[in-house]
């Protein structure tokens, strides 16, 4: 494995489980020092110990991403531990049964709670990381969902929050691109993690995920495997190649106008059901 992130420090929210855990492990295996930030402190510590055990630098921090003071504390702790921040990956998120009812039956508290974690949590993590990312001309990778691109038909708060994450990432790319910070968004399709709790165990479920995935070339991937499902994140943080064949298409024009460079072709691994929403232009190499 190459050291593409040697000497860099990355904060991963939701790093205790699933996609965030895989991302933290993969980044560390490629040389990054990783701050694993999660509400689940035991899980975060376990991931940090795993990284430590492999001879890499890591720290765990317990924080609710919807709580600004906690996010500020997590960011400050990461900066203190590693001397700065080069990357932020916002994986923390929730997908909850009360939010999965038909919209007219979802109560406002449920809707707002999902927004506070998935959308406000992304906002807060970015807000506190950005001053440090500007210093090092770093990168942000946010995690939306194909729900934001298609409307899966369930999860009012979830779908709205993920749509918000896509829009917020575009705003970030435009606002902070001139200051050297890139921002891009990943929209996973079905990933077999604790969040989806075995929901992809039947051939029918797999087929539904395949049908609902804009790339239309994948099947559910595993988010809890070392490195599973994260090559896209890796590429995004490193040098932003590729483009999404789904919802981000319209924004390619913006990237081209702003940079006078055409982004590269889609680079989906054949088994991946993920989509990528390119918001920042590829950096010059
Ligand atoms: N699994 C999928 O099929 C799928 C598909 C599309 C998008 N996503 C998105 O990917 C991201 C990761 O999901 P996953 O499947 O790995 O789920 P997961 O449940 O395995 O991991 C989510 C992590 O976020 C943490 N978290 C939850 N609320 C938090 C809060 N308030 N503050 C801090 N941490 C909190 C959890 O403790 C957990 O460690 C989420 O944003 C999710 O919406 C997942």
Give pLDDT tens digits for 147-205.
998 877 789 999 999 999 999 999 999 999 999 999 999 998 878 788 877 666 677 77
Q: Which one is predicted more confidently, 261 or 113?
A: 113
* CATH number of the structural domain spanning residue 205: 3.40.50.720
SS3 category, 5: coil
**Ligand 1 proximity of 66 Cβ (cutoff 6 Å):** yes
Determine the distance separating the centroid of ligand 1 and the alpha carbon of 120, expressed in angstroms.
14
Domain membership of residue 283 (yes or no) is: no
Domain membership of residue 125 (yes or no) is: yes
Q: Which domain holds residue 181?
A: 9-277
Domain membership of residue 4 (yes or no) is: no
Active site residues: 158
* Helix axes of 156-176 and 108-115: crossing angle, nearest 10 degrees: 30
Determine the distance separating the centroid of ligand 1 and the alpha carbon of 91, expressed in angstroms.
6
pLDDT digits (tens, 9 = 90+) for 129-157: 999 999 999 999 999 998 998 877 789 99
Number of domains in the chain: 1
Query: Which residue has the least CA distance to atom 32 on ligand 1?
Result: 64
Q: Which residues of 62-73 are buried (b: 16+ CB within 10 A; e: fewer)?
A: bbbbbbeebbeb
Q: Which residues of 89-104 are buried (b: 16+ CB within 10 A; e: fewer)?
A: bbbbbbbeeebbeeee
List the structure tokens of 136.
């090092």
Residue 171 CB contacts under 8 Å (≥ 6 apart), including other chains = none
Query: Which residue has the least CA distance to atom 42 on ligand 1?
Result: 93
Domain membership of residue 122 (yes or no) is: yes
Can you tell me the distance from the alpha carbon of 127 to that of 17, in angstroms, rounded to the nearest whole number? Answer: 23
**Ligand 1 proximity of 165 Cβ (cutoff 6 Å):** no
Domain membership of residue 97 (yes or no) is: yes
- % of the chain beyond a pLDDT of 90: 60
Residue from 23, 70, 92, 194 to probe ligand 1 pocket by mutation (most atoms less than 8 Å from CB) = 92
pTM: 0.84
| The Cα angle at residue 169 between residues 84 and 47, in degrees rounded to 5 | 50
Domain membership of residue 284 (yes or no) is: no
Question: Is 195 in contact with 184 (CB distance < 8 Å)?
Answer: no
Domain membership of residue 1 (yes or no) is: no
């Amino acid at each position: 494995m190459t050291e593409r992130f040697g000497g860099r420090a990355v904060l991963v929210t939701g790093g205790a489980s699933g996609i965030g855990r895989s991302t933290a492990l993969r980044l560390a295996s490629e040389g990054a020092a990783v701050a694993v930030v999660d509400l689940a402190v035991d899980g975060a510590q376990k991931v940090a110990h795993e990284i430590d055990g492999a001879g890499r630098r890591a720290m765990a921090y317990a924080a609710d991403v919807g709580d600004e003071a906690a996010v500020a504390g997590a960011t400050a702790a990461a900066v203190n531990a590693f001397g700065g921040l080069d990357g932020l990956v916002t994986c923390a998120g929730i997908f909850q049964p009360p939010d999965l009812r038909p919209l007219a039956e979802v109560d406002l508290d449920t809707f707002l709670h999902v927004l506070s974690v998935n959308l406000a949590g992304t906002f807060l993590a970015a807000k506190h990381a950005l001053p440090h990312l500007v210093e090092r001309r770093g990168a942000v990778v946010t995690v939306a969902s194909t729900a934001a691109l298609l409307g899966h038909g369930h999860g009012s708060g979830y779908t709205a929050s993920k749509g918000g994450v896509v829009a917020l990432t575009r705003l970030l790319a435009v606002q902070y691109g001139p200051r050297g910070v890139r921002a891009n968004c990943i929209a996973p399709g079905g990933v077999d993690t604790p969040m989806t709790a075995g929901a992809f165990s039947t051939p029918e479920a797999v087929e539904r995920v395949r049908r609902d995935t804009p790339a239309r070339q994948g099947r559910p991937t595993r988010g809890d495997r070392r490195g599973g499902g994260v090559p896209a994140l890796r590429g995004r943080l490193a040098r932003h190649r590729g483009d999404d064949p789904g919802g981000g298409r319209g924004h390619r024009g913006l990237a081209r106008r702003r940079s006078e460079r055409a982004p590269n072709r889609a680079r989906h691994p054949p088994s991946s059901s993920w989509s990528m929403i390119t918001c920042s232009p590829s950096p010059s190499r």
